[in-house]
Structure 1
Amino acid sequence: MAPTADDWPIGAALIQFPGTTRAGMSVQDAGPQHWSRIFAEVRAAGFDHVDLTDSWLRPGDLDPAGRADLVRALKDAGLGLTAISVVRRSVIDPRDGQDNLAYALRTVEAAAEIGAPVVCLGLHRPLLPEQQQAEWFWTAASDADPLQDGDAFMLAASRFREVGRAAAELGVDVSLELYEDTFLGTADSCLRMVDAIDLDNVGLNPDVGNIVRLHRPVEAWQEILAKTLPRANYWHVKNYFRAHDPASGAYISIPAPLELGVVDYRRAVEMALAAGFQGPICTEHYGGDGLGVSATNRRYLRDLLRIKLEVSE
């Protein structure tokens, strides 16, 4: 049954929460008491779902007792799951690709165990020192995939296929995140990847925010969504103000609430529904009160879904 505007799963990303506690302990080791405090805060912001972003907590690296504690903490908070999002663990990373593949497989197992319907993967790599030092990491150059290397492309497809097959056996979907300078960096390359993988449970996360924030010419968000939404099974949504000065050639971007940035999400939601998208959604925002802005974005999305679904009936 298709979701309605009121029950469509819209989760909060946890990118704004650090991976260590104030005492310097890893969230991974902090246990359910700490996890429950964060979940209570997410719930108090109005969310009934959460994306377990693994920069905060790695379900794939929890033991069975830890996973059981996590399930209880989520239940006590009244939160469901939209997905587990795996961040900067490329399966073709030149140094850690094989380990990242094993981690992705563990994460799929964890997703099935804790009730996450989707595992979101990408090919973006750890932030370089220049990115870590920048005010906004996307303003500095990142490690790029060897985009002209057909063998590297097929290695990514093969490893994603391995993860996808394992996920299918467990009833979990895999979503591949659009991200610049990777084999998932353009709409066409995303389509080539899912075609090469050729599994029904492997689709796309068309996060156009990752593209419109770049300080350079980029593919139009309308064209990206027109091509990728028919293959989408999960969706990170965020927005940015974007400006270009033709005289100097300079581009600038800063995070914006969903309603105010350069991507027209009223149009984007309409396009998604027309393409048959029914997957979970995750609201993200960098800077400031990321959870508060994400909550505002959630309310905006609910209103849009209510309007667009009524119009389409």
Structure 2
Amino acid sequence: MSRTTTKLNRHNWPIAAAMIQYPNILPDGSSVQDQSPEGWAATLADVTDAGFTEIDPTDSWLRLADLSPARLDTFLGLIRDAGLTIPAISTSRRSVIDPERGDEFLEYCHRVLDTAAKIGAKEVSFGLFYPLNEAQKKALWFWTAQGYSSPDDPATWKKAVERIRELGRHAEEVGVGISLEMYEDTYLGSAESAVRFVQDVDHPSVGLNADLGNLVRLHRPVEHWASMMEKVAPFARYWHAKNYFRTEDATTGMIVTAPAPLEFGVISYRAAIRMALAHGFQSAFLCEHYGGDGLSVSATNREYLRRILPQ
């Protein structure tokens, strides 16, 4: 699936830094939304010091769509001054079928699409996963605690499909693509379900964010990553890339996972990317990593991707 007329190779492929390691609330209790330009610039300096030339603001850190026009222009000026570009915007835990805030999040997603078009970002990543519950907040790794699940309800599935299709029509009007993030216990929580969902949406601007890391990290049986990738590769767009160590003991049923650098985890990104490239994948990557110095590990992951992408 081609997203650009520019011929991409390992040297110019857009590979963005995620901002998941930066919270929205600062140590003094204030919000990044209200932070001074100098504070924003200091965080962006971390990103450039790690060698990144692209960034995804990631709305768990900063909601670009909720900035005033003047504040957005200030932020974009800092992005330019830092030598960065924004190939895509990711949203997190703002499901359009959230039982309490779904209507609000739908309006927000429309604003994100308009903001992406305004700043020149080509893709937006939306998901159907809900905010962390208290058990997940207390866990070392939030995915080891059970989160909220999309209801097993045809009417809610239909509502989700219709709302994503609505966003797809908007995305097409403003020249932006939508990538739906695979995530456990949602309608995008398995390869088969994710493919069926995007086929039901049936809009050319809507594809999948093949974030298999969200699934292989689960402490439960999951489909082999290669089998999942074969199914989702034809629909892959903007891609959150992260990996995990995964150990399964067939004699006891014990499954243990932990975050891993991209080249060392259970997913072979060399093979997975080749599957996507065979279907014309030409979208940006986002490097994510949980735990430790996530930005530095993401920078290592960026260099690994550059080694394995086409010359």
Per-residue deviation, residues 217-245 of structure 1 (Å, max 9, x unmatched): 00111111111111111100000000112
Q: Secondary structure at the match of 2:38?
A: helix
Q: Which of 116, 136, 144 matches 2:141?
A: 136
Which structure 1 residue ranges, 5 or more long, are not aligned? Answer: none
In the alignment, which residue of structure 2 is the partner of 1:177?
181
1:20–1:27 contact (8 Å) kept in structure 2: yes
Over the matched positions of the two proteins, sequence identity in percent amounts to: 51
Per-residue deviation, residues 93-132 of structure 1 (Å, max 9, x unmatched): 1111111101111111111112211110000000010000
In the alignment, which residue of structure 2 is the partner of 1:125?
130
In the alignment, which residue of structure 1 is the partner of 2:3?
none
Q: Does 1:3 align with 2:19?
A: no
Q: CA RMSD in A?
A: 1.1
Q: Which moved more, 1:179-188 or 1:285-294?
A: 179-188
In the alignment, which residue of structure 1 is the partner of 2:219?
215
| Alignment TM-score, normalising by the size of structure 1 | 0.95
For 1:200-279, what aligned pairs fall within 5 Å after superposition?
A: 200-279=204-283
Q: Secondary structure at the match of 1:174?
A: strand
Q: Does 1:168 align with 2:140?
A: no
Q: Does 1:193 align with 2:197?
A: yes
In the alignment, which residue of structure 2 is the partner of 1:156?
160
Q: Which moved more, 1:200-209 or 1:261-270?
A: 261-270
2:87–2:120 contact (8 Å) kept in structure 1: no
Larger relative contact order (Cα-Cα within 8 Å, sequence gap ≥ 6): 2
1:67–1:114 contact (8 Å) kept in structure 2: no
1:180 deviates by: 0.7
Q: Does 1:43 align with 2:37?
A: no
Q: Does 1:115 align with 2:92?
A: no
1:172 deviates by: 0.9
1:21 deviates by: 2.2
Q: How many residues align?
A: 306
In the alignment, which residue of structure 2 is the partner of 1:88?
93
1:209–1:239 contact (8 Å) kept in structure 2: yes
Q: Secondary structure at the match of 2:280?
A: coil
In structure 2, C-alpha distance between the alignment counterparts of 1:165 and 1:50, rounded to whole Å: 26
In structure 2, C-alpha distance between the alignment counterparts of 1:250 and 1:189, rounded to whole Å: 26
In structure 1, C-alpha distance between the alignment counterparts of 2:233 and 2:43, rounded to whole Å: 32
Q: Secondary structure at the match of 1:184?
A: coil
Q: Which of 64, 76, 79 matches 2:69?
A: 64
Which structure 2 residue ranges, 5 or more long, are not aligned? Answer: 1-5
Counterpart residue type for residue 83 of structure 1 = A
1:236–1:283 contact (8 Å) kept in structure 2: yes
1:73 deviates by: 1.1
| Alignment TM-score, normalising by the size of structure 2 | 0.96
